[in-house]
Amino acid sequence: MLAYTVRRLLMLIPVLFGMTLIVFFMIRAIPGDPAQVILGQQATEEAIKSLTKQLGLDQPWYLQYIDYIKNLFTGDLGTSLRTSSDISGEIWPYLAATLELSLVAMVIAIFIGVNAGIISAWFQNSWFDYTAMVLALIGVSMPVFWLGLMEQWAFSLELGWLPSTGRENVRNPVDAITHLYLIDTLIQGRMDQFVEVVKHLILPGIALGTIPMAIIARMTRSSMLEVMRSDFVRTARAKGTKMFWVVYKHSLKNAFIPVLTVIGLQMGLLLGGAILTETIFGWPGIGRYIYDAINFRDYPVIQSGILIVAVIFVFINLIVDLLYAAIDPRIKYN
Amino acid sequence: MEQPVLKVSGLETHFFTDDGEIPAVDSVDFYVNKGEVLGIVGESGSGKSVTSLSIMQLIQAPGKIVGGEITYKGENLISKSEKEMRKIRGNEIGMIFQEPMTSLNPVFRIGNQLIEGIRIHKKWNKKKAWEHAVSILKLVGLPRAEELMNEYPHQLSGGMRQRVMIAMAMACEPEVLIADEPTTALDVTIQAQILELMKKLNKETNTSIIMITHDLGVVAEICDRIAVMYSGKIVEQGKTQDIFQHPKHPYTIGLIESVPDVRVRKDRLYSIPGNVPKPGSIHKGCHFAPRCNFAFDKCYEENPTLLDAGPAQQARCWLHEDAKKAAVLERVKS
């Protein structure tokens, strides 16, 4: 297992380098002079020149790239044009907000999705199966912005049960330590704030988790149906094992590989695709951060934001690959 | 007189498919005494496996037991609840399946799979179950049993896996062991070893064995008595020696004739003309009549019952209604 992990980590190095190259050239492929675009039509010649120099754009591209990589190695992501502060310093709170929301959404999606899929397969063609699969079909076809708005309308506006926007009660703000508010409030023992944070997470969490939940449920069901017909399931039953364990132990572990693939992909999509949800729910996440940067033509921030989301995506895939090997002993030997 | 351990009478298992109701097992009767080895022989599709799964109550939809009794130690298994059946499966009646390659769960260690049944039925702690499992692995002749416990099925050869399956089925010292084609998927040399092992276990533990097979060689090797199945019915039963020397049903004669004899050089091997009728396509009369060389009018009109054809031998054939007709068979044999 250790050798496999090390091998997988080494394989990451070229991938990460490739990614920096793509991000670097993607930003530079935007037509026109970035300095001109940033400063607008009325900018003076000197201002454009000085910004070009500040951005390092007067250098040949390979020197720019080497500079960029050098800075990355020292943890320097550049300076935001909008706020004039270090990106590496200001990006974490946004990233933490997105991570917290995505993880909550994913936990909801996995817990409900996997169980719904299992029970549907176990009691195939039952009313539960039909209901769950119709709901899953509706779930995958529901636009996330519409679902978000409907949630806000029903649970905030009409019923008033849950807050509609933000991460915290602004009148009772959380003292940030890690910027993961669930953890921060627990560390400080502020249960009142913890409850507030949970309440704020529910609606965006469900909105973001619905599509992955539906996809996971459908994948789990079809994978379980296939596995539950296998010979080893019959063997387990012939041993006198309870049906619950036949399903949740013998079948699930075998059926989980394709489900894990879907979970990994969906998790990646959540991180990148949370912009809509973050906008609707006023969530101060990385999606919003990049979105604002795009509006302001804050090229260094766009570049860093994309890079970070891409790096997280790659690491999620790494974790999924490692989990494959942990679940199925036949994998690591290949 | 000896009381049979397991007695099947009038068992009917039907499959409810879109093409209608198919009687896969049609009024089957047999019994097995304590310490006895009973062979159930027949071609593919004759209902052997369905019979064995019916005994374990592991028939899955669209299959269903629609009639008959399965008496184990004086109790009817068919009327038992799923919970009561779980106490019998693996504990009182063990089962070995045809495919050792797929009958073990690929993602759990051998030890885990072995102690599962022991812990369910004997309620032992992990350590005691583990030690018992190791001793069973040694009993079935597996070398380095302790190491095997920590290995996965894919690390074992087919013969070793089948030994593990046998160990698993024997772990709780069942009264009856049902072996569904245990040697079919194995090499000939391994087949002989497995049969040798089963014979040994039968002698040492006095476990009754129901050996389901299409291989007459296996039957001759190990069985005390034989029941021959054709198209969901038992067509002949009796002592192994009697049936091999004086088969009383034309189908049995055909089966025995089809076995190549190394001492006689033939250009063409004998085969029974025609095919097993498709289940559900049967109308009236003897199911074997269309393929039978001895068939006469009555055979096409009325389905024969099991008739006495020797001191301890019965055949489902109208020839045995009177001795003159039955004599035809003897002449053909010689």
Count structural domains, chain A.
Answer: 2
Does the pLDDT of residue B1 top 60, yes or no? no
Distance from CA of A223 to the nearest CA of B (A): 15
pLDDT given at position A43: 81
Distance from CA of A253 to the nearest CA of B (A): 7
pLDDT tens digits, one per residue of B80-117: 999 999 999 999 999 998 888 899 999 999 999 999 99
**Domain CATH code at residue A187:** 1.10.3720.10
pLDDT tens digits, one per residue of B197-211: 889 889 988 999 999
pLDDT given at position A128: 95
**Does B58 contact A234 at a Cβ distance shorter than 8 Å?**
yes
Does the pLDDT of residue A57 top 60, yes or no? yes
Mark whether A123 and A231 lie in a shared domain.
yes
**Does B120 contact A241 at a Cβ distance shorter than 8 Å?**
yes
* Encoded tokens for B166: 């046998």
CB pairs under 8 A between A and B: 70
Does the pLDDT of residue A333 top 60, yes or no? no
pLDDT tens digits, one per residue of A199-225: 999 999 999 999 999 999 999 999 999
The mean pLDDT of chain A is 88
pLDDT given at position A154: 92
Beta bridge partners of B213: B41
Chain B CB contacts of A230 under 8 Å are 102
Check if the beta carbon of residue A329 is closer than 8 Å to that of residue A49.
no
Domain stops at, among B123, B156, B173: B173
Mark whether A61 and A161 lie in a shared domain.
no
**H or E segment to which residue A49 belongs:** helix A45-55
Which of B88, B89, B104 has the CB atom closest to A237's CB atom?
A: B89
**Does A238 contact B82 at a Cβ distance shorter than 8 Å?**
no
Backbone Cα Rg of chain B? 21
Chain B residue whose CA is closest to A229: B60
Domain stops at, among B139, B173, B207: B173
Q: Which long-range contacts (CB under 8 A, 24 or more apart) does A149-157 make?
A: A149/A280, A151/A203, A151/A206, A151/A207, A152/A203, A152/A280, A152/A281, A155/A203, A156/A203
**Does A232 contact B102 at a Cβ distance shorter than 8 Å?**
yes
Enclosing domain of residue B270: 246-333
Mark whether A140 and A43 lie in a shared domain.
no
> Is A84 a domain residue?
no
Task: Determine the average pLDDT of the residues in B176-203.
Answer: 87
Mark whether A164 and A295 lie in a shared domain.
yes
Chain A residue whose CA is closest to B113: A236
Distance from CA of A233 to the nearest CA of B (A): 8
Domain stops at, among B173, B205, B227: B173
Mark whether A114 and A214 lie in a shared domain.
yes
Query: CA–CA separation, B250 vs B248, rounded Å?
Result: 7
> Is B160 a domain residue?
yes
Query: CA–CA separation, A302 vs A156, rounded Å?
Result: 33
Instruction: Find the chain B residues whose C-beta atoms sit closer than 8 A to any C-beta of A.
Output: 56, 58, 82, 86-91, 94-95, 97, 99, 102-108, 116-117, 120-121, 152, 154, 165, 168-169
> Is A218 a domain residue?
yes
Instruction: Supply the ipTM of this predicted assembly.
Output: 0.85
Does the pLDDT of residue A19 top 70, yes or no? yes
Does the pLDDT of residue B13 top 60, yes or no? yes
Task: Determine the average pLDDT of the residues in B160-179.
Answer: 91
* Encoded tokens for A211: 């599509």
> Is A215 a domain residue?
yes
Cβ neighbour number for residue A313 with a 10 Å cutoff: 18
pLDDT given at position B46: 84
Q: What are phi and psi of B23, to 5 degrees?
A: -80, 90
Instruction: Report the residue count for chain B.
Output: 334
Mark whether A181 and A300 lie in a shared domain.
yes
> Is A154 a domain residue?
yes
pLDDT given at position B295: 81
3-state secondary structure of A181: helix
pLDDT tens digits, one per residue of B22-59: 888 888 999 999 999 999 998 887 888 899 999 999 98
Mark whether A60 and A113 lie in a shared domain.
no
Task: Determine the average pLDDT of the residues in A18-42.
Answer: 81
Distance from CA of A102 to the nearest CA of B (A): 30
Count structural domains, chain B.
Answer: 2
Query: CA–CA separation, A249 vs A237, rounded Å?
Result: 12
pLDDT given at position A273: 62
3-state secondary structure of A86: strand
Mark whether A26 and A138 lie in a shared domain.
no
pLDDT given at position A191: 87
A332 touches chain B (CB under 8 A): no
Band (B332; pLDDT cuts 50, 70, 90): low
pLDDT tens digits, one per residue of B266-300: 777 778 877 777 766 666 788 888 888 888 888 88
| A251 vs A168, residue with greater confidence | A251
Enclosing domain of residue A165: 93-327
Which of A126, A232, A327 would best serve as a mutation to test chain B binding (most B beta carbons within 10 A)? A232
* Encoded tokens for A105: 């959404």
pLDDT tens digits, one per residue of A235-276: 999 999 999 999 999 999 999 999 999 999 998 888 866 788
Three-state DSSP string of chain B: CCCCCEEEEEEEEEEEECCEEEEEEEEEEEEECCCCEEEEECCCCCCHHHHHHHHCCCCCCCEEEEEEEEEECCEEHHHCCHHHHHHHECCCEEEECCCHHHHCCCCCCHHHHHHHHHHHHHCCCHHHHHHHHHHHHHHCCCCCHHHHHCCCHHHCCHHHHHHHHHHHHHCCCCCEEEEECCCCCCCHHHHHHHHHHHHHHHHHHCCEEEEEECCHHHHHHHCCEEEEEECCEEEEEEEHHHHHHCCCCHHHHHHHHCCCCCCCCCCCCCCCCCCCCCCCCCCCCCCCHHHCCCCCHHHHHCCCCCEEEECCEEECCHHHHCHHHHHHHHHHHC
pLDDT given at position A210: 92
Strands of the sheet with B37-41, listed across from one edge: B93-96, B176-180, B208-213, B37-41, B225-230, B233-239, B313-315, B307-310
| B192 vs B185, residue with greater confidence | B192
A330 touches chain B (CB under 8 A): yes
Task: Determine the average pLDDT of the residues in B149-156.
Answer: 93
The mean pLDDT of chain B is 86
> Is A78 a domain residue?
no
Q: What are phi and psi of A162, to 5 degrees?
A: -130, 150
pLDDT given at position A274: 77
Instruction: Report CA-CA distances (Å) from B87 to B57, B81, B93.
Output: 12, 10, 9
Mark whether A100 and A219 lie in a shared domain.
yes
Which of B90, B105, B169 has the CB atom closest to A232's CB atom?
A: B105
Band (A230; pLDDT cuts 50, 70, 90): very high
Query: CA–CA separation, A234 vs B34, rounded Å?
Result: 26
Does the pLDDT of residue B195 top 60, yes or no? yes
